[in-house]
Amino acid sequence: MPRLLLSQLSLRICSTFSLVLLASCSKTPELSKIEGFAQGTTYNLSFELPTKNAAPVSDIQKAVADELARIDKALSNYRDDSAIEQFNAQQTTEILPADTELVALVEAARKVYVASNGCYDLTIKPLFDLWGFKKDEFSPPTDEALSQTLAMIGMNKLETIDANHLRKQIPQLRIDISSIGQSYSVDRIADVLENYGIQNYLVEIGGELLAKGKKTNGDPWRIAVEKPLPNERKLQKIASFDSGAPVALITSGTYRHFFDSNGKRYSHILDARSGKPVEHNTVSVTIFHENPTIAGAWGTALLCLGSKDGIKVADDNKLAVLFIDQQGDELIEHETSAMKTLKDVSLLQP
């Protein structure tokens, strides 16, 4: 299910918001910073230039912008001339050429699709359109329409032939990588910084981020995770990236995007197996993983499953995850086994 977390913004300030970089108010050596707009949201990079042969920040900024533009041209589902939309437009069951990048993302997502028993699915977008999420006009479908749409989706109907070819088993099948697009972009922009010799950085796009190394004064990167409440902006936890090892933090939630209809609240999280919004009480999933792309897929999948089923799946896959359920006005935290023993990151009380 595409995760519509496009409004979370990281700011360098001496107070706290959702997913923000917690900065000291005391004087410390300046970090280099790059920020801008891409993929319908904002991006913010904080990094320490290498001590020798450092490139101008303007060169790095251009390289970042160029890479984001390249990703958009290749993988955006919102422009007809992108490589992914050109693939989607070909309604055939013949073997089709596909970019190596797209095939690799499909295969990464397929592993999560299988592990989540089909709850997570890159072909789910027709269901979002059916429920009215595309135009933000909620419209519960009839059983007949739901059944017809379910017949048009399913990653089990998408074959990977080789590193450059895919085949649809049904011509109408479409791939939508919205659920992992931003997390994949985080990974790619981190690679851009690494290519310039940068080893201490924080890359954030639309609230999804990857931290590596330490700040210029030697302190760990610290990120605030907000309470999953629709009308409040308060802290739930502070994640301290203690070891300096590269770790992504991805949070998925139901608390910002939902519809109320006839006295019932409907989540924007759709279960690809039933085609319907999930009805469990899990409102937030925060995952820590060395690979941002994998974290993005798992964040969506585990939010789809909910804590009851998701904790077992996460434990089976050794994932460090914090689930938050809401029962009335109470928020209840559940940590996976890997989360309890995670050494690279510690979760602190605000």
Confidence (pTM): 0.88
Q: Which residue has the higher pLDDT, 43 or 253?
A: 43
Residue 8 pLDDT greater than 60, yes or no: no
Per the structure, how many domains does the chain have? 1
State residue 139's pLDDT score: 81
State residue 265's pLDDT score: 66
State residue 140's pLDDT score: 86
Backbone phi and psi for residue 321, each to the nearest 5 degrees, phi listed first: -140, 140
pLDDT in tens, 304-326: 999 999 999 999 999 999 999 99
Report the chain's mean pLDDT, rounded to a whole number.
89
Q: State the Cα–Cα distance between residues 14 and 78, nearest whole angstrom.
A: 36
3-class secondary structure per residue, the chain: CCCCCCCCCCCCECCCCCCCEECCCCCCCCCEEEEEEECCEEEEEEEECCCCCCCCHHHHHHHHHHHHHHHHHHHCCCCCCCHHHHHHHCCCCCEEECCHHHHHHHHHHHHHHHHCCCCCCCCCHHHHHHHCCCCCCCCCCCHHHHHHHHCCCCHHHEEEEECCEEEECCCCCCCCCHHHHHHHHHHHHHHHHHHCCCCEEEEEECCEEEEECCCCCCCCEEEEEECCCCCCCCEEEEEEECCCCCEEEEEEECCCCEEEECCEEEECCEECCCCEECCCCEEEEEEEECCHHHHHHHHHHHHHHHHHHHHHHHHHCCCEEEEEEEECCEEEEEECHHHHCCCCEEEECC
State residue 9's pLDDT score: 27
Q: Kindly give, in sequence order, each residue whose CB lies less than 8 Å from that of residue 263, ignoring residues fewer than 6 positions away.
A: none
State residue 188's pLDDT score: 98
State residue 31's pLDDT score: 94
Distances in whole angstroms, Cα of residue 168 to Cα of each of 100, 171, 297: 16, 6, 21
Enter the tokens of residue 107.
Answer: 């295969």
170, 157 contact by CB (below 8 A): yes
Q: Kindly give, in sequence order, each residue whose CB lies less than 8 Å from that of residue 285, ignoring residues fewer than 6 positions away.
A: 251, 252, 253, 299, 302, 303, 310, 321, 322, 323, 324
Q: Kindly give, in sequence order, each residue whose CB lies less than 8 Å from that of residue 240, ignoring residues fewer than 6 positions away.
A: 220, 221, 222, 345, 346, 347, 348
- Domain housing 73: 1-350
pLDDT in tens, 172-199: 999 999 999 999 999 999 999 999 999 9
Residue 16 pLDDT greater than 70, yes or no: no
* Mean pLDDT lowest among 29-33, 214-218, 286-290: 29-33
What percent of the chain is modeled with pLDDT above 90? 76
Q: Residue range 19-37: average pLDDT?
A: 70
CATH of the domain at 208: 3.10.520.10
